[in-house]
């Protein structure tokens, strides 16, 4: 450093320290954490996703009441209503997941950084997972109050396990589909169209697993085969998403 | 004449970048030594932004070779990121977050310490409004925050796409030590202003329709020749 | 480039189809319960099998595209999926006819194969709208390939999942093809070969036709490009759901205002 350098803050920050040694890129989990903080901060500031999803679920329960003309449901009807509602609310979240990034240059900012690009897949999937958990904390009690006949207490254990496995699948597929749809012209339409068929196996596994839980007399346990189906689907799609996601980011 | 101790900052040979069947960049050749400033002129759609995005590793070249700071892209683009600072048309910042939050986020992505965020906010004159959401700031202030984002990680190469577009003279003066000639970094600047742009340049590139219409040392080019590009 | 062997393939297809039809109508025995209508099985199931294999093939070709970035793989993937979608539609229609004839309903949920097929069809029906909604041709190809790989992997998973969900409701009505009596098995096999050849021939036709048209356009463009001098702004890139049939860089810059063709689906768009 030359002795004649002036000491104002401006030149202090402008001073080039000479040729930099090649920096190691920022670690994967550091990046994921940074992204997660940013995601949750933006969501807390704008409240664009979670309140909408939750409100949608509650309204849908009311619609179902009138559409089916029932005050109380159980068994496979209950399971069906619950899962359809959760899935459609999830799609709202999927639609919003990448919009801020696409519209405000978030992708470019991320792509310029020396980071592992898979971090965005992890961060977005975890974000969507978080949204789903909050959604369910609101929607499931609401469901048990508004529509569910049998008490939910004994069913909770199995229900939580099913919700966890289904949520992971929805989060992974939702992230992949959200990233695909956000760069297209008709993103609000294509998102659901792409997601729904891919969600069908999740609906099958989750609804079949939940059925025996929502009956009055003898609450059963969720069939292990259905939970296993969900688990395998989650795993396979997780691998597919991991392999393909980077291709959606680059140019 | 001395041999350069390190590789040239930029070397392009026959760079081609297509958009569908159209060539956004057709065969650009240039070499830029370290510490020098290249100013790129050309009308809208000429490929200036495309060139910058290729150099920033956001776009991959379709043909030709490109070496940035000694590393070939796209094969070694991971080695280039983190050493390049890009001021784009958009600020690349989240409107709902504050300047401080945005800069902290980028600092974490680049593994830069957070004290630097505070320093930079002072330098660009945003310290007082650092904790208000960006959407409440004027376009000029947002531009200052964008420049702060670009130099946060002390890049060796600056890629500036009309960086002074939304700034008043006071703003330009504030940012000069960071991205102007005084910064002593290698710079590539896209400019619409023949007069001012020439003043800063060591090397001049004129693009038209993706093709390099003009490439010369700044001393050998007149403002007239540059104005020709826009006709 | 794609036209080689087209004639031989077409002839084999005609031969195979004639053979299949002959067997179906004159050789295969009349099935006791369902009567004459059962013969649609010889069309419906091969259509389903070929269509599904075509979707998976589209996914494999898409993997090649993602790895090599050569747009020709994307082009082949597009044709494979496009053709499979058409064969898939035919599968649903023949399946529906059979259902109506056998059980009196145009649709039955008890048949897991048919149900899975509907889901797969609905997914792939979004392929072309997805492509059409992305302007940048390179990105369009890349995103389409990501979709094709995802959907291709989804096909078998979906079948398994749906099969599991209907397993205990009704015995499988279509019956396993592995315990078909001799004459029926032979007829089925020949039909399958015939439909597979039909698929291959139609794909080859489409590949050749599009490729040739693209070459003509490129030549025309080069001529016009040389006359008009500078490439200028290059004109607005128009939206198209069809991928590039030529390897990258084999065409020159496009003069302003030239419209590009859109793909087969009659999707409304403007240049």
In a domain, A189, yes or no: yes
In a domain, C124, yes or no: yes
Query: CA-to-CA distance for C117 and C125, rounded, in angstroms?
Result: 12
From chain A, the residues in CB contact with C145 under 8 A are 247
Confidence (pLDDT) at B110: 93
The answer to whether the CB atoms of B26 and C254 lie below 8 A apart is no
Mean pLDDT of chain A: 88
Residue A213 is classified by DSSP as G
| pLDDT at B187 > cutoff 60 | yes
The answer to whether the CB atoms of C158 and A200 lie below 8 A apart is yes
Q: Is A47 on the interface with B (CB under 8 A)?
A: no
Overall domain count for chain A: 1
pLDDT in tens, C86-145: 999 999 999 888 888 877 888 888 778 888 899 999 999 999 999 999 988 899 999 999
pLDDT in tens, B69-86: 989 988 888 889 989 999
Nearest by CB: A190 against C130, C154, C161: C130
Range A77-83 average pLDDT: 94
Nearest by CB: A106 against B83, B94, B178: B94
Sign of the torsion angle spanned by Cα atoms B41, B42, B44, B45: negative
Q: Which domain holds residue C144?
A: 6-206
Q: What are phi and psi of A163, to 5 degrees?
A: -60, -40
Q: Could you tell me the CATH number of the domain that includes residue C189?
A: 1.20.120
Q: Is B195 on the interface with C (CB under 8 A)?
A: no
The answer to whether the CB atoms of C233 and B209 lie below 8 A apart is yes
From chain A, the residues in CB contact with B183 under 8 A are 14, 16
- Which range (A142-151, B47-56, B210-219, C161-170) has the least confidence? C161-170
Confidence (pLDDT) at A24: 66
From chain A, the residues in CB contact with C161 under 8 A are 200-201, 204-205, 229, 233
Q: Chains that contact A by 3+ CB pairs under 8 Å? A: B, C
Q: Which domain holds residue A69?
A: 49-94+117-249
In a domain, A40, yes or no: no
The model's confidence at residue B4, banded by pLDDT at 50, 70 and 90, is: low
Read off the tokens for C70.
């050569």
Mean pLDDT of chain C: 80
Sheet holding B84-87, edge to edge: B84-87, B157-161, B186-190, B37-41, B203-208, B211-217
Alpha carbon of C66 to those of A182, A238, A250, C134: distances in Å? Answer: 20, 18, 12, 17
Mean pLDDT of chain B: 89
The model's confidence at residue C34, banded by pLDDT at 50, 70 and 90, is: low
Confidence (pLDDT) at A192: 94
The model's confidence at residue C60, banded by pLDDT at 50, 70 and 90, is: very high
Read off the tokens for C66.
């993602």
In a domain, A147, yes or no: yes
In a domain, C215, yes or no: no
In a domain, C260, yes or no: no
In a domain, C69, yes or no: yes
Residue B222 is classified by DSSP as -
Its pTM stands at 0.86
Query: Bridge-partner residues for B158, per DSSP?
Result: B85, B187
Q: Is C4 on the interface with A (CB under 8 A)?
A: no
Sign of the torsion angle spanned by Cα atoms C125, A186, C152, A228: negative
Alpha carbon of C42 to those of C16, C48, C53, C103: distances in Å? Answer: 13, 11, 17, 18
Q: Which of A47, A109, A247, A249 to mutate to test the interface with B (most CBs of B within 10 A)?
A: A109
In a domain, A159, yes or no: yes
Read off the tokens for A192.
């659901």
Alpha carbon of B87 to those of B78, B93, C185: distances in Å? Answer: 19, 11, 68
Q: Is B27 on the interface with C (CB under 8 A)?
A: no
What residue of A is the nearest CA neighbor of B84?
A112
Alpha carbon of C233 to those of B42, B54, B55, B206, C250: distances in Å? Answer: 12, 19, 22, 15, 19
Confidence (pLDDT) at A14: 44
Q: Which of A4, A7, A11, A14 to mutate to test the interface with B (most CBs of B within 10 A)?
A: A14
Query: What number of helices (H) and strands (E) belong to chain A?
Result: 10, 0
In a domain, A112, yes or no: no
The residue among A206, A204, A79 whose CA lies nearest residue A149 is: A79
Q: Is A180 on the interface with C (CB under 8 A)?
A: yes
Query: CA-to-CA distance for A210 and B63, rounded, in angstroms?
Result: 56
Q: Is B209 on the interface with C (CB under 8 A)?
A: yes
| pLDDT at C252 > cutoff 60 | no
pLDDT in tens, A3-37: 444 455 554 444 443 344 445 678 899 999 999 99
- Of A68-72, A83-87, A152-156, C28-32, which has the strongest mean pLDDT? A83-87
What residue of A is the nearest CA neighbor of C129?
A190
Confidence (pLDDT) at A12: 45
The answer to whether the CB atoms of B58 and A109 lie below 8 A apart is no
| pLDDT at C239 > cutoff 60 | no
The answer to whether the CB atoms of B58 and A100 lie below 8 A apart is no
Query: CB under 8 Å, gap of 24 or more: what pairs does A153-157 form?
Result: A154/A213, A154/A219, A155/A210, A155/A213, A155/A214, A155/A219
The model's confidence at residue C228, banded by pLDDT at 50, 70 and 90, is: low
In a domain, A183, yes or no: yes
The structure tokens 């978080």 sit at: A130
Nearest-neighbour CA in chain A from C201: distance (Å): 30
Q: Is A193 on the interface with C (CB under 8 A)?
A: yes
DSSP letters for B97-148: SBHHHHHHHHHHHTT--THHHHHHHHHTT-GGGTTSBGGGS-HHHHHHHHHH
The answer to whether the CB atoms of C253 and B23 lie below 8 A apart is yes
The model's confidence at residue C72, banded by pLDDT at 50, 70 and 90, is: very high
Range B139-143 average pLDDT: 93
| pLDDT at C254 > cutoff 60 | no
pLDDT in tens, B12-40: 999 999 887 788 899 999 999 999 999 99
The residue among B90, B71, B91 whose CA lies nearest residue B81 is: B71
Neighbours of A95 (CB within 10 A): 23
pLDDT in tens, C134-172: 988 899 999 999 999 999 999 999 988 888 877 654 445
In a domain, A11, yes or no: no
Confidence (pLDDT) at A23: 53
Whether the CB-CB separation of C219 and C212 falls below 8 Å is answered with no
In a domain, C85, yes or no: yes
In a domain, A227, yes or no: yes
Overall domain count for chain C: 1
């Amino acid at each position: 450093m030359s002795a004649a350098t002036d000491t104002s803050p401006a030149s202090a920050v402008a001073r080039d320290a000479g040729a930099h040694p090649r920096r190691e890129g920022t670690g994967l989990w550091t990046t994921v954490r940074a992204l997660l903080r940013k995601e949750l901060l933006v969501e807390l500031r704008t409240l664009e996703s979670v309140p909408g999803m939750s409100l949608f679920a509650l309204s849908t329960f009311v619609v179902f009441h009138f559409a089916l003309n029932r005050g109380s449901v159980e068994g496979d009807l209950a399971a069906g209503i619950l899962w359809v509602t959760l899935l459609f609310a999830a799609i709202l979240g999927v639609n919003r997941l990448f919009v801020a990034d696409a519209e405000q240059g978030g992708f470019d900012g991320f792509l310029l950084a020396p980071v592992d690009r898979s971090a965005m897949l992890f961060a977005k999937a975890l974000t969507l997972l978080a949204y789903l958990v909050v959604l369910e904390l609101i929607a499931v009690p609401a469901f048990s109050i508004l529509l569910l006949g049998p008490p939910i207490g004994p069913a909770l254990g199995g229900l939580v396990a099913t919700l966890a496995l289904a949520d992971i699948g929805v989060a992974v597929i939702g992230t992949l589909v959200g990233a695909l749809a956000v760069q297209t012209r008709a993103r609000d339409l294509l998102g659901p169209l792409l997601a729904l068929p891919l969600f069908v196996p999740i609906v099958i596994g989750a609804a079949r697993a939940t059925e025996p839980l929502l009956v009055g007399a003898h609450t059963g346990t969720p069939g292990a085969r259905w939970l296993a189906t969900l688990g395998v689907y989650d795993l396979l799609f997780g691998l597919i998403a991991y392999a393909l996601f980077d291709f959606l980011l680059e140019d | 004449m001395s041999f350069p101790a390190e590789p040239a900052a930029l070397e392009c040979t026959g760079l081609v970048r297509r958009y569908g069947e159209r060539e956004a960049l057709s065969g650009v050749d240039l070499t830029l030594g370290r510490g020098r400033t290249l100013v790129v002129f050309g009308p809208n759609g000429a490929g200036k932004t495309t060139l910058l995005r290729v150099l920033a590793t956001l776009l991959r070249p379709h043909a030709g070779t490109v070496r940035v700071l000694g590393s070939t892209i796209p094969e070694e683009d991971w080695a280039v990121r983190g050493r390049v600072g890009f001021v784009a048309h958009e600020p690349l910042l989240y409107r709902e977050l504050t300047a401080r939050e945005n800069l902290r986020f980028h600092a974490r992505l680049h593994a830069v310490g957070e004290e630097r965020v505070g320093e930079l906010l002072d330098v660009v004159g945003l310290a007082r409004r650092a904790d208000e959401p960006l959407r409440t700031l004027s376009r000029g202030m947002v531009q200052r925050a964008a420049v702060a984002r670009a130099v946060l990680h002390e890049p060796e190469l600056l890629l500036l796409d009309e960086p002074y577009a939304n700034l008043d003279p006071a703003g330009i003066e504030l940012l000069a030590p960071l991205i102007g000639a005084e910064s002593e970094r290698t710079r590539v600047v896209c400019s619409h202003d023949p007069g001012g742009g020439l003043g800063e340049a060591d090397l001049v590139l004129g693009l038209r329709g993706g093709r390099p219409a003009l490439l010369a040392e700044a001393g050998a080019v007149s403002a007239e020749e540059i104005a020709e590009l826009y006709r | 480039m794609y036209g080689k062997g087209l004639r031989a393939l077409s002839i084999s297809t005609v031969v195979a189809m004639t053979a299949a039809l002959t067997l179906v109508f004159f050789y295969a025995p009349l099935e006791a319960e369902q009567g004459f209508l059962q013969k649609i099985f010889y069309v419906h199931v091969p259509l389903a099998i070929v269509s599904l294999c075509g979707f998976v093939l589209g996914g494999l070709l898409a993997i090649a595209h993602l790895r090599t970035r050569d747009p020709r793989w994307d082009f082949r993937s597009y044709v494979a999926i496009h053709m499979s979608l058409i064969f898939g539609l035919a599968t649903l229609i023949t399946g529906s006819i059979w259902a109506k004839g056998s059980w009196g309903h145009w649709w039955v949920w008890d048949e897991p194969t048919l149900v899975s097929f509907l889901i797969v069809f609905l997914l792939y029906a979004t392929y072309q709208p997805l492509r059409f909604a992305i302007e940048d041709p390179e990105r369009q190809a890349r995103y389409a390939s990501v979709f094709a790989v995802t959907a291709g992997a989804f096909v078998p998973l979906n079948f398994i999942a749906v099969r599991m969900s209907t397993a205990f409701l009704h015995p499988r009505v279509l019956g396993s093809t592995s315990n078909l009596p001799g004459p029926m098995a032979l007829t089925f096999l020949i039909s399958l070969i015939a439909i597979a050849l039909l698929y291959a021939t139609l794909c080859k036709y489409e590949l050749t036709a599009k490729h040739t048209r693209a070459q003509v356009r490129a030549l025309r463009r080069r001529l016009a490009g040389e006359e008009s001098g500078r490439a200028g702004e290059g004109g607005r890139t128009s939206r198209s759901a069809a991928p590039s049939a030529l390897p990258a860089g084999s065409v020159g810059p496009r003069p302003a205002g030239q419209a590009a063709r859109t793909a087969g689906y009659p999707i409304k768009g403007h240049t």
